Structure 1
Amino acid sequence: MTPTTIDARPTRSTDLRVIGLVGAAHFVSHIFILVLPPVFPFVRAEFGVSYTELGVVIAVFNVISALLQTPAGFLVDRTSARTVLVGGLLLGAASLAAAAAAPVFLLFGVAFAGLGLANTVYHPADYALLSNRVSAGRVGQAFSIHIFAGFMGTAITPAAMVFLATSLGWRGAFVAAALLGLIVAVAIMMLGEPLGGREAARAKAADKSAPSAGDWRVLATWPVVLNLIFFMLIASVSVGTQNYGIVALQALRGTTLSFSTTAITVYLMFSACAVLVGGWLVSRTERHEVVALIGLFVSGVALIPIAFIDLGTTILISLMAISGFANGVIQPSRDMIVRAVTPPGAFGRVFGFVTTGFNIGGVVAPPVFGYMMDVGSPASVIVGTALLSLAAIPVVLITVAQRPRAA
């Protein structure tokens, strides 16, 4: 790569291409994460296994992702984020194809371990590319579109996988998902010229003080560690709402399954749409922590009355919408807070490290909320979710207080 290429300033067209390609990869990554749960009954019947055994497969996926995401971030910083991202997409597609062809459950599980390894690359590669390749004035909006693409992948996957499994069988559904990953990988290879080059070279060209690609010390700074905790708390909020919200509302108020599902769907849809509003906000303010603090407070407080008062359908749905909207608005600001404490040349490793909080929350929170349901305390699920959102507020405040010291 020539110095001219390294120093070239992004234009609107290259920004759009970078955001579109990286967003497409994030969309696919969320589909890959959720391909299995919607087809549990089909896979269970095929291999004659229990739900516990299927749960072990998902646990292995998450453990591998949690353990290897930070090393993947170092790989991104040391080499080319584009190459690592394409490699992850191809490995994910190959793993899903292998799972579709697996004759026995053991090989099926091994294939999902490969899918977990592929999942490690998306956050560090995506955020490194968006931080390094998008114009400074559009980075916040790029983050919001990136998050929105992931949310949309999450939203469409359950219904799409059930439809495909019913039409083509679960193996055919997996092959269809694998083909989508292959298509996006080819698109990035063919259209991703603005994504090319080594991240370390770009960082050094921009800032001679950028840390070396093998430097772990940045991960031990307080602002980065606090952001890991921040991501873990946010992930736990999502677990409480998305995984246990429906059963908690049913047990708490005796609501029907359809109404409880509607309430959670409203929460998720408002959250997804609010991400784009959050992107608009971060492009108009430098006080990203203020957006995050207000959003966390409103999201948590809006849930508390639901746990203690029979509000009626209209008010309950309204509060879920408010909480979901506030939760979505903070997402781009969340990423900008991380970016603000990340030195040039360290985007891959820092985002790889802090987004491991998603995996930690995904492992720790489900048993806790499940225990609350088992002991007959659905109100604790809702209150616990609200308190986790509020607990993130002092974490953000301390992070902001630490920022000048880190600089």
Structure 2
Amino acid sequence: MRLPAVPGRDSLPDLSRETLLVVALVGGAEFVNHTYLVLFPPILGVLSNDFGVSLATLGIAMGVQGAANTVFQLPFGYLADNYDRRLALGLSLGLSTASVFLVAFAPTFEVLLVGQALLGIGIAGHHPAHFPLLADATPEHLRARAFSVRGFLGSLGFGFPPVFFAAVLGFRGLTWRGAIALVGAFGALYALFTLFAFQRWVGEDVTAPETGSAGSASASADADDPSSADDAAASSADSSASRLAGVRRELRAVLASPGVLALALLALVASTASWGLTSYAVVLLRQGYGLALDAANLTLSAMFVVGALAVLVGGDLSDRFSPGPLIVGSYAAVVVFVGLLASTAIPALAAVACLLVVGGTRALAGPARSKLADGLSARSDLGRTFAVVTVGTMTGSALAPPLFGALIERSGLRVAFAAIAGISALAVLVTLFVLYRQGTGRSARAGVEAE
């Protein structure tokens, strides 16, 4: 159910308790999932020593997580659009949390890879579940701000592991394994509370798919009909054929949405640059600028905190103005400051400042991109739309760690971070192309309507 804009309601606190609860719960789930996404970057050196593998090999492990995440975006989107968004959310939180414990106690690098793959599958459900829940719970004129609250808490989730590891690893007897297990324990408690809260206090007009439950109702009616028992085999065959037809319809619908595909391409390019920076920022600060591990990890956390605040600003600006120029300006600033970092010629303090600026400017684009995706969607395909866009994001997260890890080992930090700046410049060009296509598309539709 798409809630109408309500005149006079200019801020999230004016909304119903149910809406505020949904925004808070989804934001908290984003915090947990983003914490899981960046468990490795703060401890890459420790993992390399413990498992006896190179940075490039650990980059492959991070890429495996991103690849699994990518592959399962559309299945979770189908689940959210056609069954129950609580189910998609519960599977996401449950499987990802269980996988964190597998990663924590992995005896070998091979088991670590399996844990990373399962973690990626679990995390795949959070975008296809989160965005439809927020869109149905929030009126349109405040939707970007609701997205920005989620982005704010997600950025804090990115910033949590570096600080947490710096604190925990300082205690005698505690290792990275115990630290990751503690993160998993927190995630398990949050998952239980969230699912209980959705079941108890959030109505089906928010959690049920827009297409309704016609399939479920039909199945129930067939179960009540005694004659259906004689046609069980035929029904099973028809069900399989129906599922295959559903898959084909989903793929045709994706290919028939050029605007959504263009946003997915933008998400791919921007994510590749962003994850390259996130994955190796600590390595850059340590090897390129001589910072200690604790200082480098604290800088990484501070970068995400600044990004969290910038997400809120980006949400407000996206609701008040056109999101396109905001995205262009955000990525253009990233190009400049990552280029300075790539030089390794600036003072260490200036490098820290550049990372903080990058953390803020790149975060401004998040709510704006989400609002563009929301505007391109019908209400019945929100899960699929955000799944497709997230495929781009997660493909970038899969490509970036092994790509830039190998580039660092072969060509050095300067080349790798110069490449990140170049890819950010490509994101600016892709954004301009998307905006141009949208503008020409609107002009063509206006001409048809006028005729």
| TM-score normalized by the length of structure 1 | 0.81
Structure 2 residue aligned with 1:166: 174
Give the CA deviation at 1:169.
3.5
2:120 corresponds to 1:116: yes
- Could you say which residue in structure 2 is the equivalent of 1:341? 376
Q: Which residue does 2:194 correspond to in 1?
A: 184
Alignment partners' CA distance in 2, 1:55 and 1:288: 33
| Residue identity opposite 2:157 in structure 1 | G
1:241 aligns with 2:263: no
| Change in 2 beyond 3 A, CA 1:362/1:313 | same
2:329 match = 294
SS at match of 1:166: coil
Deviations, residues 270-315 of structure 1 (Å, cap 9, x unaligned): 2221111111111211x10011111111221233234347343554
Moved more, 301-310 or 354-363: 301-310
SS at match of 1:283: helix
Deviates more, 1:146-155 or 1:240-249: 240-249
Structure 2 alignment gaps of length 5 or more: 6-14, 214-245, 446-451
198, 207, 210: which one aligns with 1:199: 210
Equivalent position of 1:27 in the other structure:
31
How far residue 241 of structure 1 moved from its aligned partner, in angstroms, is: 1.8
Look up the equivalent residue of 1:343 and give its one-letter code: A
Instruction: Pick from 366, 375, 378 the counterpart of residue 413 of structure 2.
Output: 378
1:283 aligns to 2:335 (yes or no):
no
CA–CA distance in 1 between the matches of 2:359 and 2:326?
Answer: 15
- Which deviates the most, 381-390 or 20-29? 381-390
Match of 1:150 in 2: 154
Which stretch has the larger CA shift, 75-84 or 171-180?
171-180
Task: Determine the C-alpha separation between the residues in 2 that align with 1:121 and 1:302.
Answer: 33
Q: Structure 1 residues 264, 110: closer, same or farther in 2, change over 3 A?
A: closer
1:356-395 alignment runs, 5 A limit: 356-395=391-430
After superposition, what is the alpha-carbon deviation per residue over 1:336-384, rounded to whole angstroms, capped at 9, x for unaligned? 1222222331111111111112221122222332233223432223322
- Most deviating of 361-370 and 172-181: 172-181
Aligned to 2:258: 222
Greater shift in the superposed pair: 146-155 or 212-221 = 212-221
The whole-number CA distance in structure 2 between the counterparts of 1:317 and 1:41 is 20
Instruction: Give 1:233 shift.
Output: 1.7
Which residue in the other structure is 2:237 paired with? none
Instruction: Using the TM superposition, name which of 73-82 and 376-385 deviates more.
Output: 376-385
Structure 2 SS opposite 1:17: helix
- List per-residue Cα deviations over 1:27-61 (Å, max 9, x = no partner): 1212333456667899999xx85447877665443
**Residue number in structure 1 paired with 2:86:** 82
Q: Are the equivalent residues in 1 in contact too, given 2:338–2:358 (CA < 8 A)? A: yes
Q: Distance in 2 between matches of 1:35 and 1:255?
A: 20
Answer whether contact 1:228 1:354 (CA < 8 A) is retained.
Answer: yes
State the SS of the aligned residue for 1:198.
coil
Distance 1:175 1:280 in 2: 34
Q: Aligned residues: percent identity?
A: 24
Q: Which amino acid in the other structure matches residue 166 of structure 1? A: L
CA distances 1:209-253 after superposition (whole Å, capped 9, x unpaired): xxx994333322322222112111221222232222333345445
Q: 1:191 to 1:34 in 2, by over 3 A?
A: farther
After alignment, is 91-100 or 361-370 more displaced?
A: 91-100
The 1:374–1:37 alpha-carbon spacing in structure 2 relative to 1, beyond 3 Å, is: closer
The amino acid of 1:199's aligned partner reads: E
Partner of residue 71, structure 2? 67
Distance 1:111 1:199, change over 3 A: farther
Looking at structure 1, the residues matched to 339 and 107 of structure 2 have their Cα atoms a distance apart, in angstroms, of 48
1:267 is displaced (CA, Å) by 3.3
Q: In the alignment, which residue of structure 1 is the partner of 2:359?
A: 324
**Alpha carbons of structure 1 residues 13 and 238: separation in structure 2 relative to 1, 3 Å:** same
Pairing of 1:131-142 with structure 2 (within 5 A) = 131-142=135-146
3-state SS of 1:215 partner: helix
CA distance in 1, matches of 2:374, 2:72: 21
* Number of residue pairs the alignment of both structures matches: 390
Distance in 2 between residues matched to 1:388 and 1:255, nearest whole Å: 26
Tell me how far apart the structure 2 counterparts of residues 283 and 98 of structure 1 sit (CA, whole Å).
41
More off after superposition, 167-176 vs 377-386: 167-176
Cα distance in 2 for residues equivalent to 1:291 and 1:301: 16
The alpha-carbon distance between structure 1 residues 351 and 257, as it changes in their structure 2 partners (threshold 3 A), is same
Shift of residue 138, structure 1, vs aligned partner: 1.1
Mapped partners of 2:368, 2:185: distance in 1: 36
Per the alignment, in what secondary structure is the counterpart of residue 320 of structure 2? coil
CA contact (8 A) 1:271 1:327 kept: yes
Alignment equivalent of 1:305, drawn from 325, 331, 340:
340
